[in-house]
A and B are shown apart, each in its own frame.
Chain A
Amino acid sequence: GESVGLHLPTLSVQEGDNSIINCAYSNSASDYFIWYKQESGKGPQFIIDIRSNMDKRQGQRVTVLLNKTVKHLSLQIAATQPGDSAVYFCAGLGGGSYIPTFGRGTSLIVHP
């Protein structure tokens, strides 16, 4: 089955810096990816998604990059704010499944 993992369990940044969170996936059949943000005491919240026919997608202050050659995606957060502090998960879907497979997550800590 799908295996989705993250390179770095914890990322600490200063307020105002740009943050980059990385994720690797193993299932070549994955064709849709989602980034989620989970704040303490809450469920995961959809941030941004990308389909495999794209290599970049931008939202408000966030950008997702997809490199299918090396099965890697990243989430870039511009001008990181204290409210961005949370655990971020990437999840992959595809190969006939509409159920997201989550990795372990990266904890983003933003210092004021």
Chain B
Amino acid sequence: DAGVTQSPTHLIKTRGQQVTLRCSPKSGHDTVSWYQQALGQGPQFIFQYYEEEERQRGNFPDRFSGHQFPNYSSELNVNALLLGDSALYLCASSLWIGQGTNEQFFGPGTRLTVL
């Protein structure tokens, strides 16, 4: 049973470019959340997707957008990249809260470097 998988592992972009990160949730999970983790900091919540809709959003600008597909996998898109977007981007999967569990399982992350 595969856990949460993310691709790519590492990515280098330049300022102003756009990037797409991908996540496949743990088998049986239907909800995907994305986090940004700057070096030396804890993960910061970006947004959460369930039933292909954004359900909750953290304090991130509209440059950050996402999508969830019918198979529950998800993408995170970041436009007009800034140097400050350099971070580890984590995906976490879970079952929708209405089913009674809060536990999130995290993937290994995608390390994004913006030059």
Interface residue ranges, A against B (CB under 8 Å) = 4, 32, 41-46, 49, 89, 91, 93, 97-105
Contact = CB atoms under 8 A, between A and B. Distances in A.
Secondary structure of the A side of the interface? strand
Given A98-B102, A99-B56, A89 B109 contact: no
B3 to A, nearest CB: 9
Interface string B90-101: 101000010000
15 contacts: A4-B42, A43-B106, A44-B43, A45-B106, A46-B104, A49-B103, A98-B97, A98-B102, A99-B48, A102-B43, A104-B40, A104-B42, A105-B40, A105-B41, A105-B42
Given A43-B90, A43-B107, A43-B108, A102 B44 contact: yes
A32 to B, nearest CB: 7
